[in-house]
Amino acid sequence: MEKTYSVVIHPSDNVIDAIKLMKDYLKSKIGWFNSCNSVAHITICEFKIEESQLPFIKKKLSKTADAFTPFQVYLNHFNSYPNSGAFFIGTTEDSENNLVPIMRKIHETLKSQNLKKSDNPHLSIGRRLTPENTKIASELFTTIDLQFLCDKIVLREFDPVKKQFFVIDAFSFGSNPEPEFVQGSLF
């Protein structure tokens, strides 16, 4: 059976809790909105595969994550994508420079899948907000200063009944970069 999966970066529990409070506060002001109940995360990609392919995908993600080295991610500003109605927390430039290569490596690792890719690291507060609700969010939330240790990627499965993703596995960064292949000489 084909299922939908996503690969994300989960922040620390204290950042997840802080984002939940923000989403709950926004919900108290504007009512229900897309992603109001989703756990805070930075999306890397989403894809559909047959469930039988899952062990192969997990093996690829584990090997890829093992090569990454943990680093701090700093979330320091709010922004929005007016066309999609997304209101989100952005990362510092240094954090983005560390996150983007990881995101691209995961995309490359899963390239045989029909991926919905995210190339811009951000942590969504709300999605598909009306322009009025985006304005309310931007007035409620003006400053932010959060950080967490990025030390793993998370694989989630979509529950079509609850319409939410849930974690099915995590792959820790092992700080074991793959050795570069060097062409040897016989003479």
pLDDT, one tens digit per residue, over 126-170 is 999 999 999 999 999 999 999 999 999 999 999 999 889 999 999
Q: Which of 142, 126, 145, 143 is nearest to 134 (CA)?
A: 126
**Which DSSP symbol is given to 46?**
E
pLDDT in the model for residue 148: 98
Average pLDDT over residues 79-101: 94
pLDDT in tens, 3-54: 999 999 999 999 999 999 999 999 999 999 989 999 999 999 999 999 999 9
pLDDT in the model for residue 114: 82
Question: Higher model confidence: residue 113 or residue 24?
Answer: 24
Question: Is 93 inside a domain boundary?
Answer: yes
Question: Is 21 inside a domain boundary?
Answer: yes
Average pLDDT over residues 71-83: 94
The CATH code of the domain that includes 72 is 3.90.1140.10
Question: Is 184 inside a domain boundary?
Answer: no
Q: Which of 166, 164, 51, 150 is nearest to 103 (CA)?
A: 150
Question: Is 36 inside a domain boundary?
Answer: yes
What is the CA angle 121-149-174, rounded to 5?
A: 100
CA distances from 185 to 142, 154, 180, 182 (A): 60, 41, 16, 10
Q: Sign of the CA dihedral 14, 87, 76, 10?
A: positive
Lowest mean pLDDT among 95-99, 111-115, 158-162: 111-115
Question: Is 182 inside a domain boundary?
Answer: no
Q: What is the pTM of this model?
A: 0.90
Q: What band does 183 get if pLDDT is binned at 50, 70 and 90?
A: low
What is the CA angle 127-128-133, rounded to 5?
A: 90
- Number of folded domains in the chain? 1
87: pLDDT strictly greater than 70: yes
Average pLDDT over residues 116-128: 93
pLDDT in the model for residue 177: 78
pLDDT in the model for residue 16: 97
Question: Is 90 inside a domain boundary?
Answer: yes
pLDDT in the model for residue 98: 97
Question: Is 177 inside a domain boundary?
Answer: no
Q: Which domain covers residue 81, as residue numbers?
A: 2-172
Q: What band does 123 get if pLDDT is binned at 50, 70 and 90?
A: very high
